[in-house]
Structure formats: structure tokens, C-alpha cells
Amino acid sequence: MRASEIIRAKRDGGRLRPEEIRFLVDGYAGGAIPDYQLAAFCMAVFFRGMDGEETAALTEAMLRSGQVLDLSDVPGVKVDKHSTGGVGDKVSLALAPIAAACGVVVPMVSGRGLGHTGGTLDKLEAIPGFRVDLPVSRFRELLRRNGACLIGQTAEIAPADKKLYALRDVTATVESIPLIAGSIMSKKLAEGIDGLVLDVKVGRGAFMKRREEAGLLARTLAGIGRAMGKRVTVLLTDMEQPLGLAVGNALEAAEAVELLRGGGPPDLREVTLALCAEMLLLAGVETGGAAARRRVERAVADGSALERFRRIVEDQGGDPRAVDDLARLPRAPVQRDVPATAAGVVQAIDAEAIGLAAMSLGAGRVRVEDRVDPAVGVVLRHKVGEAVERGAPLATLHAARQGGEPVEAVAARVAAAYRLGPDPASPGPLVLERIG
């Protein structure tokens, strides 16, 4: 086989055989096929797509490019959750300890933020000392001990995807549904899980802007998982405005802790608990949705989820005192309010614009290798449906320095992300659809 012939076949709308896909993936992972040929392949897939069997073959090839964990020696049913990415989406930080406190084993391999969406690893690393680069042996040990462990993708887990993920970002092929599905599922299936709950974000702050695209991705992901013998449930959730109030790594970590304390913004709490309840159902901990919801609410109310998070933080090298004293988290030296230029009711907030504003302050990265500032970000002071007086703060910027660029420019962008009007308004439903 020749890579150029396979690329040409897909460019012309042909259907690839599993062995052709495996040839490309193995060759790229091993260095025999260069970046420029895989970039051409990604663009061909972007425009021509893949059918279900091709997408499953791509997932299988990336999955088998590295180690597939066998966690059968870890007691309990293993269920993970994955989000397709959104602005202010710190759900995993609270979800993992809640689910673990309810008896689910959560082996979570997460990613870093890229572009306007944040990454779970960056938020965890905002906790002083927290390590996400644990060896697989320690990962197993902590799953047994705490019922949850949150790490980054190791060199052994789906290495082909790790290379391809970076290539997709710089070749404008991130939004391709077959490539997204293959990337997500190859990593998740390599974790040794029994079940998976997927949170597919829909709206301005998501990669999938339209409901139809999100639904197609959700069904593709679920189909791959089930074809490989895994239990899968997908929730489509709203990402028109940021989730919660905080956008930025330490700010979001603090908000997740507030949720575990029984507080936190209502929208963040609702999405987190809805996804947790689905995890309990997949694990067989509860058999009905109402009972599962009551159980996760009880784990927050009685403090067991917060205590589980404190143990996870300490055992992964973090400072557990930061869980009780949020002032120990990184704090930006400058806080600047963004005032409303007119009175009105918040009709809409452009989630993507808020995410890009936080990124320009240093909370996100343009390239995988970029560093982030854990302290900076944006905290919303008003959400959709709330009345605002002229001059009242719409949001507060947490920045590294005052004046000039980027603070003044970012303030203008955040103000422009808000649309105010005289009419009453209310946000739409948070959970748009369940595919299970």
C-alpha cells in the first residue's frame, strides 16, 4: 500500500478498507508517514467524511497504536465521562469525586485546553502541586484507594491520537466528526472502562454550533462505543453562554470546590449532577434516574464528595489545604470590572467570545505547547435573564497586569459579548437531549 493512493481514494470520495486506515495510522505513529501526508488525509476526511465502519476502523487503529489498559483487577464497575469541550466547563473536577463517593470507579484520562475551550488538566494543575503525569501503576493504585484518579494522556495510551490531535489543530480539521469521534473514543476505550457518559456541547461556545451536528456526533460516538461492547449514554447540553460564572483555571477550580461544598452556580450544579446520575445508572449503582439523582445529591450534601476530592488532591501531590482555603489557589494581581454601558436585561452572552477573552489574558493556549497562567480569567457577574443597571459590572477580569493591552482590549471584547435589551429573557434548557 502507498499513502498517496489511500489519500487520493478518500479525496475522490472513496471508501477505505480497515487495513488501509490501519496502514496510515501505524505508519504515522511510527514515523514512516510524514505530517504533510496525514495533513492531506485529514483534509480529505474533513470534506469527504467517513461512514460508520470507516470511523470504527480509525478508532480501532488509534486505540491499538498503544497500550490498552486492563483494569479488571480493580474492583468495581469502571465508568468515565467525557465532554466535547466548552467555556467554563469545570464539570469533571466535581463529577469524579461525586461519582466515586457513590461507588463508581472513575478512571479519567483528560486533556488540556486548546483555543477558547478549557482543559481539565490545566484546571487540576491550578491546585498547587497537583500531578497529572502519573505512571499507570500509580493510576491503578489510586483507583483502588480513592475510586477515582485524573491523569493526562500517557505516552502509552493511543500515541497515534496524540500526534494526530496536534496536527488537526494546525490544519483546520478539528471540526471533522469522524476525526473527533476517533480521537475521543480511542483514548476513552484505552482506559479499560466498562461504560462511558458523553457530554456533547451545543452552541456558540462549543465546537458543534448546531444541534444537528451535535446529534450526529453523539450518535457516532455512541455507535462506536457500543460496537466495542461498552455501555454508553450521551447528553446534549447547552453551551450558548458559559457554564457557571468562572472562566479560567484557578477560578474554575474554586467554583468546582464551591459545588462540592453544596453551593456553586445552579447551571453548573444541574449539568454536573445530571451527568453523575447517568454514571451511576451505567455502573448499576442505581436502577432508576430519580434514585440516582437523589444519591448524587446526598453525596454532596453529606460532605462525602468533598472529602473524596480532598483525598484525590492529596494523593496526586496537591495541597489539600487549598480545598478548604481557596485563597491558596493562584490569584491574579489585577481585578478589573467591565461595566454595562446601558441598563437592560441580559438577552444573550456569546460564550465563544468570553472564552477567547480569557485565552487572550493567558488562561488558554493557541498551540498545544503554549503555557497558561493559572490565575487569570473572567468571572461573569450576570447571566442570561438577569437585569443590569447602567455602570454595574457585567464581569470581572482577573489579569496579570493593569492598563494598555491586553486588559483594556479584553474588557471591550467582554462587554461586546453581552447583548442587553428591554424585554424579559430566560436561558433555554441545559440538557437538550438524552441518547442512551
* pLDDT per residue as tens digits for the range 125-170: 999 999 999 998 999 999 999 999 999 877 778 889 888 887 887 8
The SS3 assignment for 427 reads: coil
Which residues have C-beta within 8 Å of that of residue 34, sequence separation ≥ 6? none
Does 189 score more than 60 pLDDT?
yes
Does 405 score more than 70 pLDDT?
no
Lowest model confidence (mean pLDDT) among 34-48, 173-187, 402-416 = 402-416
Which residues have C-beta within 8 Å of that of residue 335, sequence separation ≥ 6? 396, 397, 398, 399
Per CATH, the number for 330-421 is 3.90.1170.30
List the beta bridge partners of residue 246. Answer: 379
- Over the chain, what is the mean pLDDT? 93
- Which pLDDT score, from 0 to 100, does residue 156 have? 77
Does 334 score more than 80 pLDDT?
yes
Of all residues in the chain, the percent with pLDDT exceeding 70 is 98
Does 8 score more than 90 pLDDT?
yes
Q: Tens digits of per-residue pLDDT, 210-268? A: 999 999 999 999 999 988 889 999 999 999 999 999 999 999 999 999 999 999 999 99
Residue 175 confidence class, pLDDT cut points 50, 70, 90: confident
Which residues have C-beta within 8 Å of that of residue 18, sequence separation ≥ 6? 53, 57, 60, 61
* Helices 35-48 + 177-189 axis angle, to 10: 120
Residue 310 C-alpha cell reads as 480532598
Mean pLDDT over residues 57-61, rounded?
94
Q: What gap in Å lies between CA 55 and CA 39, rounded to an integer?
A: 17
Q: Where are the domains of the chain?
A: 3-49, 79-324, 330-421
Q: Which of 66-75, 149-158, 238-247, 362-371 has the highest mean pLDDT?
A: 238-247
Residue 67 confidence class, pLDDT cut points 50, 70, 90: confident
Lowest model confidence (mean pLDDT) among 114-128, 259-273, 413-427 = 114-128
Lowest model confidence (mean pLDDT) among 159-173, 338-352, 413-427 = 159-173
Does 98 score more than 60 pLDDT?
yes
- Which pLDDT score, from 0 to 100, does residue 364 have? 85
Does 107 score more than 90 pLDDT?
yes
Q: pTM for this structure? A: 0.92
262 and 98 Cβ atoms separated by less than 8 Å? no
Could you say which of 3.30.870.10, 3.40.1440.60, 1.20.120.1200, 3.40.1030.10 is the CATH number of the domain covering 79-324? 3.40.1030.10
- Which pLDDT score, from 0 to 100, does residue 227 have? 86
Q: What gap in Å lies between CA 228 and CA 182, rounded to an integer?
A: 13
- Which pLDDT score, from 0 to 100, does residue 368 have? 66
In terms of CATH, what superfamily is 3-49?
A: Transferase, Pyrimidine Nucleoside Phosphorylase; Chain C (1.20.970.10)
Q: Can 79-324 and 330-421 be said to share one CATH topology?
A: no
Residue 403 confidence class, pLDDT cut points 50, 70, 90: low
- State the catalytic residues: 82, 161, 168, 183, 187
